[in-house]
């Protein structure tokens, strides 16, 4: 089987490596292994697949003279119809640097936001899709024009054709050094980003179901309660902590006194507690039933939300979230 029969091999390898790398990054690995897995996916693979769509044909380098008087057999044509290996390699990196931020921008519209997992998953999906389109693009080319990667006769460094005596030009060495240095710096930056992703804000929303609001609405909840009767209120717990969390809600009734801007709690009775486990991105509806035991006008219904178990005597300082509702109990 000749080299031309393997025209699809590199893009098939891109698909396979993308799947392997993505699976590896979704496992709880860290350190140098995570960096080595993340660099090709973020720095090279999506751009390589994209460039394969734009340039499915092989480079046809040739030589010609530009006039009848000057004949220089080592002068390349201005447009060779394809890409040299160094050009394909560099453009793949440049395209990857453009594609990955575009995927991150789209991730902002998802429920997960710009976090490492949706960006990696989106980048993998885009890379595989581009590679499949690239295979179709190459297949549509004439067999003798399809790009087929080969290490023979091709270098990923800048080279010079040399003079008429076959002597190479050492002036390309500084360009090779700068190219390799820039590539190492870029790989280090991407590796650091993969190994140490930025911390994202995590939070839990704790709120109540409210009645319909119109121009005559004075309270968003039922502020009149009756002692000894079963009352109910519905709370909602929205978990945005990037992991599953266990919560417990304690419902307490407080006898309070107001002195200017300060509030003093004279008595507190814990009426009921209820626990729930909420997955990340989910909102849990929590109906709470209780019987008021404290009567009066200066009474406050307080909902304390705790991560884990609530203490026997909950307070605002120890609670993760607190909802305070002035009520009247008769």
Query: What local confidence, expressed as pLDDT, does residue 6 receive?
Result: 79
Judge whether 63 and 74 are in contact, CB under 8 Å. yes
Does this model's pTM top 0.75? no
Query: What local confidence, expressed as pLDDT, does residue 128 receive?
Result: 94
Query: What local confidence, expressed as pLDDT, does residue 76 receive?
Result: 41
C-alpha–C-alpha distance, residues 137 and 232, integer Å? 64
Of 318, 227, 233, residue with least CA distance to 272: 233
C-alpha–C-alpha distance, residues 69 and 164, integer Å? 18
Query: What local confidence, expressed as pLDDT, does residue 153 receive?
Result: 44
Query: What local confidence, expressed as pLDDT, does residue 124 receive?
Result: 92
Q: In b/e form, how buried is each residue of 240-254, taking b as 16+ CB within 10 angstroms?
A: bbbeebebbbbbbbb
Query: What local confidence, expressed as pLDDT, does residue 180 receive?
Result: 67
Q: How many other β-carbons are positioned within 10 Å of the β-carbon of residue 180?
A: 12
Q: Block means of pLDDT (10 residues each) for the chain, length 330 residues? A: 70 91 78 76 90 84 47 44 76 88 86 78 92 92 82 51 47 60 66 57 82 56 84 90 90 89 88 92 91 89 93 92 90
Which pair of structure tokens corresponds to residue 12?
Answer: 């098939």
C-alpha–C-alpha distance, residues 196 and 251, integer Å? 40
Judge whether 254 and 314 are in contact, CB under 8 Å. no
Query: What local confidence, expressed as pLDDT, does residue 177 receive?
Result: 66
Q: In what order do the strands lie in the sheet with 296-307?
A: 224-225, 321-329, 296-307, 245-259, 262-278
Query: What local confidence, expressed as pLDDT, does residue 166 receive?
Result: 44
Query: What local confidence, expressed as pLDDT, does residue 261 receive?
Result: 78
Judge whether 304 and 314 are in contact, CB under 8 Å. yes
């Amino acid at each position: 089987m000749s080299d031309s029969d393997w025209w699809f091999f590199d893009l098939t390898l891109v698909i396979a490596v993308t799947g392997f790398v993505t699976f590896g990054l979704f496992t709880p690995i860290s350190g140098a292994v995570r960096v080595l897995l993340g660099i090709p996916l973020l720095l090279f693979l999506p751009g390589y697949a994209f460039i394969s769509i734009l340039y499915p044909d092989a480079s046809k380098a040739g030589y010609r003279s530009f006039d009848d008087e000057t004949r220089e057999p080592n002068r390349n044509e201005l447009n060779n119809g394809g890409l040299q290996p160094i050009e394909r390699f560099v453009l793949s990196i440049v395209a990857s640097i453009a594609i990955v931020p575009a995927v991150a921008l789209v991730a902002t519209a998802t429920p997960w936001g710009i976090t490492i997992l949706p960006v990696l998953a989106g980048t993998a999906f885009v890379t595989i899709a581009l590679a499949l389109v690239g295979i179709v693009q190459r297949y549509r080319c004439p067999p003798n024009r399809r790009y087929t990667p080969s290490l023979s006769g091709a270098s990923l460094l800048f080279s010079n054709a040399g003079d008429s005596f076959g002597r190479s030009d050492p002036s390309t060495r500084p360009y090779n050094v700068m190219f390799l240095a820039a590539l190492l710096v870029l790989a280090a930056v991407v590796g650091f980003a993969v190994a140490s992703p930025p911390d994202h804000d995590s939070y839990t929303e704790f709120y109540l179901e409210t009645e319909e609001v119109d121009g005559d609405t004075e309270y968003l909840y039922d502020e009149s309660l009756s002692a000894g009767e079963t009352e109910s209120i519905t709370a909602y717990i929205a978990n945005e902590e990037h992991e599953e969390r266990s919560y417990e809600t304690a419902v307490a009734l407080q006898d309070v006194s107001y002195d200017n801007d300060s509030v003093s709690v004279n008595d507190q009775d814990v009426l009921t507690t209820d626990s729930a486990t909420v997955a990340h991105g989910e909102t849990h509806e929590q109906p709470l039933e209780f019987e008021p035991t404290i009567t009066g006008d200066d009474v406050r219904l307080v909902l304390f939300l705790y991560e884990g178990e609530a203490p026997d005597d909950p307070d605002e300082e120890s609670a993760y979230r607190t909802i305070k509702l002035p009520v009247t109990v008769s």
